[in-house]
Amino acid sequence: VVSEGPPVTLSECSLDAVADYIKSGKARRIVVMTGAGISTAAGIPDFRSPETGLYANLAKLNLPEPEAVFDLNFFKTNPKPFYVLAKDLYPGNFHPTISHVFIRMLSSKGLLHQLYTQNIDCLERAAGIPSELIVEAHGSFANQRCIECKTPFPHDLMRDHISRAEVPRCTQPNCNGLVKPDIVFFHEALPSLFYDRIHMADSADLALVMGTSLQVHPFASLPEQVPRHVPRVLFNLERVGSLGSHADDVLVLGDCDTGVRKLADALGWREELEAEWRQL
Ligand code: CNA
């Protein structure tokens, strides 16, 4: 669904044309923007998919509304629902998907300029994408600290608490504050790294947007950072944001692993992709 006339940079609006563009060597600074949809195939539900999404399954936690589970004020009064959910989401229980491994392949071929992820599941790290190329825009479960005195909390203790869905508390003398992973809750600021690296999107020569509803700001405006003549490819179950409105946008609607496999086929990378995924 292109509203702007013929493409300027691609030969046509297709995945084959995107593959040709990469193979021609003109795409050397690829930015990737991801969300929960790239991890659903790993068994981690997203937020907003009807019926299977987390928000549809939170009824058992007795929340005023589903978003409350990631709301700092609600957490201060009732941290238990977050820890019930954290037990299900905690890194270590899941395996990276084909989409994660494809992003790793971009990095190993020297083509990944920056990965911006909204995910907190650490599957990008688990897939072996170099940490300096990852911006975890909404933080992650990698570290945690007391919300009162900010003292970091030991990782092994955190793992024990989360495995029992227990609420960890600060062990500093006279503190006893609630401990929270460094994931960004609603109304909290994004990590400064997000703002430090936002300009990397300005110099992209290709953007891949994968598995996100683009409902959460400021992340949702990242695809708008990419210059207008730069091709943007959307791998998602549904059309989102302004994707599809630029002349060089390509929409690959459906399951993102399937779309990524098609691109890998067109690039001649498919065997390598499957082999790397099996070896993880
Ligand atoms: P979201 O709002 O739930 O949207 C997910 C999007 O992905 C939707 O547009 C779906 O249609 C699409 N989708 C779902 N499955 C697939 C699939 N297999 N292939 C292609 N598309 C698919 O999630 P967003 O990431 O956009 O929202 C941002 C929130 C979600 C961030 O704050 C995350 O921290 C948070 N979240 C993260 C995880 C995780 O870390 N894995 C899980 C759930 C929620």
Cβ of 36 closer than 6 Å to ligand 1, yes or no, is yes
Sole residue written with tokens 């065997």:
271
Residue among 32, 40, 46, 209 to mutate when testing ligand 1 (max atoms within 8 A of CB): 46
Q: How far is the CA of 41 from the centre of ligand 1 (A)?
A: 11
Residue among 44, 47, 55 to mutate when testing ligand 1 (max atoms within 8 A of CB): 47
Q: Is 29 annotated as a binding residue?
A: no
pTM of the model: 0.94
Whether 136 and 154 have beta carbons less than 8 Å apart is answered as: no
CA angle 116, 81, 94 (to 5 degrees): 45
Cβ of 236 closer than 6 Å to ligand 1, yes or no, is yes
CA neighbours within 13 Å on the CB side: how many for 222? Answer: 33
Q: How far is the CA of 170 from the centre of ligand 1 (A)?
A: 31
Q: How far apart are the C-alpha atoms of 240 and 139, rounded to whole Å?
A: 23
Q: How confident is the model at residue 2, as a pLDDT?
A: 46
Task: Please provide residue 231's backbone torsions phi and psi, each rounded to the nearest 5 degrees.
Answer: -60, 140
Residue pLDDT tens, the chain, 280 long: 445 789 999 999 999 999 999 999 999 999 999 999 999 999 988 887 777 777 766 766 778 887 888 999 999 999 999 998 888 788 888 999 999 999 999 999 999 999 999 999 999 999 999 999 999 999 988 899 999 999 999 999 999 999 998 999 999 999 999 999 999 998 889 999 999 999 999 999 999 999 999 999 999 999 999 999 999 999 999 999 999 999 999 999 999 999 999 999 999 999 999 999 999 9
* Nearest Cα to Cα of residue 37 among 121, 136, 127: 121
| Residue 132 CB coordination number (10 Å) | 8
Looking at ligand 1, which residue's alpha carbon is closest to its atom 13?
37
Q: Can you tell me the ipTM of this complex?
A: 0.97
Sole residue written with tokens 């030969």:
11
